[in-house]
Structure 1
Amino acid sequence: MLKLIGFIVSILLIIIIFLRTPQENVGLSSFATKSNILGSPRSAERFLNILTAIGIFIYLSIALAINLTF
């Protein structure tokens, strides 16, 4: 069960990382502001930072628990 949850969290972390818009790439950042997928760029970046930190904490906790049980 923990392996399945760990797999899902790792996939979600990969998706979150791909959602992040590079600051130096004008084309992608203008697309993100025009499409308004995640709201304003500042709030979207803050939300993704928090979500990424929580996801990493959950992933590390699950990985530690899996390693301690086997």
Structure 2
Amino acid sequence: MLKVIWLLLNFFLIVIIFSRSPQNKGFSSFATKSNLLGSPNSAERFLNNLTASGIIIYFLIALKLNLFNIS
């Protein structure tokens, strides 16, 4: 059961990471003055938190699965 959750979380993280739009970073942000020092909007913040939470849960499940295989 834990492996199924781990695999579903794996596919979910791949989809959410690849579906995110790239940020306007680098020298182009100086030229356009858009989002230079501003904070991300609420949807972007939610996606950041969701991605970070998913990655943490993914690593915790991977650690637990590895500990079961060693013992």
TM-score computed with the length of structure 2 as normaliser: 0.69
- Root mean square deviation of aligned Cα: 1.3
Greater length-normalized contact order (CA 8 Å, ≥ 6 residues apart): 2
Q: How does 1:43-62 map to 2 (within 5 A)?
A: 43-62=42-61
AA matched with 1:63: A
- Corresponding residue of 1:4: 4
Scaled by the length of structure 1, the TM-score of the pair is 0.70
Please show how residues 6-45 of structure 1 align to structure 2 within 5 Å. Answer: 6-24=6-24, 42-45=41-44
Unaligned runs of 5+ in 2: 25-39
Instruction: Report runs of 4+ in structure 1 exceeding 3 Å deviation.
Output: none
Report how many residues are paired. 54
Structure showing greater radius of gyration is: 2
Flag the structure with higher helix content: 1
Identity of aligned residues (%): 59
Residue 21 of structure 1 aligns to a residue whose secondary structure is coil
Specify every segment of 5 or more residues in structure 1 that has no aligned partner in the other structure, as ranges.
Answer: 25-40
